[in-house]
Structure 1
Amino acid sequence: MNRPLDPGHPDGFRADRLLDVLVPTRERRAELAVTLSGLAAQAGPPGFGVVVSDQSDGPPPWTEPAVAAMVRALRHRGHPVLLTRRLPRRGLAEHRAYLLDQSTARYVLYLDDDVWLEPGTVDRLVTAIGELRCGFVGNAVHGLSYLDDVRPQTHRHYTEWTGPPVPEDVRPGTPEWDRAQIHSAANLLHVTEALRMPSGQWRAYRVSWIGGCVLYDRALLRAAGGFDFWPRVGDRHQGEDVAAQLAVMRRYGGAGILPSGAYHLESPTTVTDREVEAWQIMLAENPAPEPTPS
């Protein structure tokens, strides 16, 4: 018999930790169990918190024994876990804004509920953002079903930072926007293999945006507006993570990190009503500056 699981309370969860992991979820019990198992296997940083916010139509996923077991494993390993529900649904951006409100940690890692992290991933990301001192770093997700689908034409979009990331105003129709092609399929894994990096080494590279596993400096994310734009994009949108990253990158810079330890479970989306691209609305509100006459 699966014993009742204490969901925790927001007031008891909030603390000045180094890191909180924020996991939005909906109708994904099996996938969430896998995602939490990846977090439970991380060796560091010690004591990071985890917030899971559910928007399922039925019972919350932690009534599933596998999910509950992983919550208990995290707590047993010293990680506070807060389980919440955010209903009715008001869109992806509002859900992310709500998750951000639950944390007072220095860094917040937004992790999708269909991503497994290999051991060492979280510690590497925290080390990277501490050294780079930018607005965000991230691990783009690998789709291992594409492992044999090598696309060398996309590899030219990989460009490393040679120093700390600097602010960039990335827009559609520019070469900078095309960097996103490196994150499709298993392209990034193929680039990583070609680099033959020594064990323990990591590198920062230029991005347009990253999906699935992004670590923010929480104060800088807040200063750039966070996800507070949610009332302006309606509830039938996607691209809310892109909108937030573009805003942070415009002020503070951002980077992808190799190697990526994030693996996509390649499950079908559970949010199918996506009529609006949130980043298009936010870019329209923040037009590119006019070029300075020569």
Structure 2
Amino acid sequence: MTPAGTVDVLVPTCNRPCALAVTLTSLAAQGFRDFRVIISDQSDGGSVFDQPEVAAVLRFLRAGGREVLALRHLPRRGMAEQRAFLLSLVNAPYCLFLDDDVILESDLLERLHAAISAQRCGFVGSALHGLSYIDDVRPHQQAIEFWESGVMPERVTPGSPEWARHHLHSAANLFHVQARFGLDRDKTRLYRVAWIGGCVLFDTRKLREAGGFDFWTALPEAHCGEDVLAQLRVMERYGGCGMIPSGAYHMELPTTVPQRDVDAPKVLPLSCAPEAAAAAQPEPLPQQE
């Protein structure tokens, strides 16, 4: 078994060689060094790893000392199973689920790791900016609730007032908010979320204890919201938050999951086994000196 580093970066991919190459290039540029990349490919036809642009970036990563595990994972059984497969390969104490169409600022991994290490919560995520909306300012969607002290467990359910927090992550809302507050990497803040899509760093143990993505067997192959359900379960037991400035940018490509009639958090229980949830307690924050 490969010795565990600090972070395993998990990238599910399907039919997006060019976008994947860009995403992997932004990983190669990270100043934070202690991570491994695990890619699970479910592309049609041949392997995405044989595409020239992807093969070139894989060589670049490896030449720079980055460990990369590039795997074909077929047949397709839905995104929850794809994520469960990736999680089963994790050795590191933290795992970053990263979509294959995301551009990362070069200090993002460092900042995410610093935040989750300090908070000892279940996850910290960077919501994706959609910069094609840079001129579309939506004040009615830009409410933000900062965590003024340590991140704590919180139950969020579909249709609850807290569920409306997801509007903050639409379009370029979060980008406009960070500009309004004058936030930069030296003024990073954490805020309350409903969920975060595309770039989420988990405490591996806490994700697994909340059930991970083992619920995939209860879903049809065509589903969505599996990432949301996993986050809701982790957040209820251990807490979770968003980080602003985000430092993550969406390529705004068409979704590879077009059938979205079955939404995991609306058809499956939002909690794990009650006895396990009752036994879980948030870890105390370290004393400030």
Q: Structure 1 length as normaliser, TM-score? A: 0.90
Q: CA deviation at 1:138?
A: 0.3
| Structure 1 segments unaligned to the other structure (5+ residues) | 1-10, 289-294
Q: Give yes or no for the alignment of 1:102 onto 2:93.
A: no
- C-alpha distance in 2, partners of 1:47/1:216? 16
1:234-263 deviations in Å (ceiling 9; x for gaps): 211000000000000000000000111110
- C-alpha distance in 2, partners of 1:127/1:37? 22
Counterpart of 1:28 in structure 2 is: 16
Alignment of 1:110-259 (within 5 A): 110-156=97-143, 158-259=144-245
AA partner of residue 168 (structure 2):
I
Q: Give yes or no for the alignment of 1:62 onto 2:49.
A: yes
- C-alpha distance in 1, partners of 2:12/2:40? 5
AA partner of residue 242 (structure 1):
V
The question of whether the paired residues in 2 share the 8 Å contact of 1:150 and 1:190 is answered with: yes
Shift in CA distance, 208/238, structure 1 to aligned 2, threshold 3 Å = same
Shift in CA distance, 133/123, structure 1 to aligned 2, threshold 3 Å = same
The question of whether the paired residues in 2 share the 8 Å contact of 1:47 and 1:78 is answered with: no
Counterpart of 1:18 in structure 2 is: 6
The question of whether the paired residues in 1 share the 8 Å contact of 2:233 and 2:271 is answered with: no
- C-alpha distance in 2, partners of 1:284/1:214? 19
- C-alpha distance in 2, partners of 1:79/1:205? 31
Counterpart of 2:286 in structure 1 is: none
- C-alpha distance in 2, partners of 1:130/1:85? 32
- C-alpha distance in 2, partners of 1:16/1:63? 27
- C-alpha distance in 2, partners of 1:94/1:275? 17
Matching residue within 278, 282, 285 for 2:264: 278
Counterpart of 2:281 in structure 1 is: none
Counterpart of 1:291 in structure 2 is: none
- C-alpha distance in 1, partners of 2:73/2:93? 23
The question of whether the paired residues in 2 share the 8 Å contact of 1:53 and 1:86 is answered with: yes
**Identity level (%):** 53
Q: Structure 2 length as normaliser, TM-score? A: 0.92
Counterpart of 1:292 in structure 2 is: none
- C-alpha distance in 1, partners of 2:270/2:109? 34
Matching residue within 60, 64, 72 for 1:73: 60
- C-alpha distance in 1, partners of 2:91/2:148? 32
AA partner of residue 117 (structure 1):
L
Q: CA deviation at 1:283?
A: 3.1
Q: CA deviation at 1:275?
A: 2.7
Counterpart of 1:50 in structure 2 is: 37
The question of whether the paired residues in 2 share the 8 Å contact of 1:15 and 1:103 is answered with: no
The question of whether the paired residues in 1 share the 8 Å contact of 2:185 and 2:245 is answered with: no
The question of whether the paired residues in 1 share the 8 Å contact of 2:145 and 2:191 is answered with: yes
Secondary structure in 1 matching 2:118: helix
AA partner of residue 16 (structure 1):
A
AA partner of residue 262 (structure 1):
A
AA partner of residue 174 (structure 2):
L
- C-alpha distance in 1, partners of 2:190/2:120? 12
Q: CA deviation at 1:109?
A: 0.2
Q: CA deviation at 1:200?
A: 2.1
AA partner of residue 25 (structure 2):
S
- C-alpha distance in 1, partners of 2:271/2:139? 36
The question of whether the paired residues in 2 share the 8 Å contact of 1:54 and 1:84 is answered with: yes
- C-alpha distance in 2, partners of 1:231/1:198? 42
- C-alpha distance in 1, partners of 2:239/2:52? 41
Q: CA deviation at 1:284?
A: 6.3
The question of whether the paired residues in 1 share the 8 Å contact of 2:184 and 2:245 is answered with: no
Q: CA deviation at 1:285?
A: 6.9
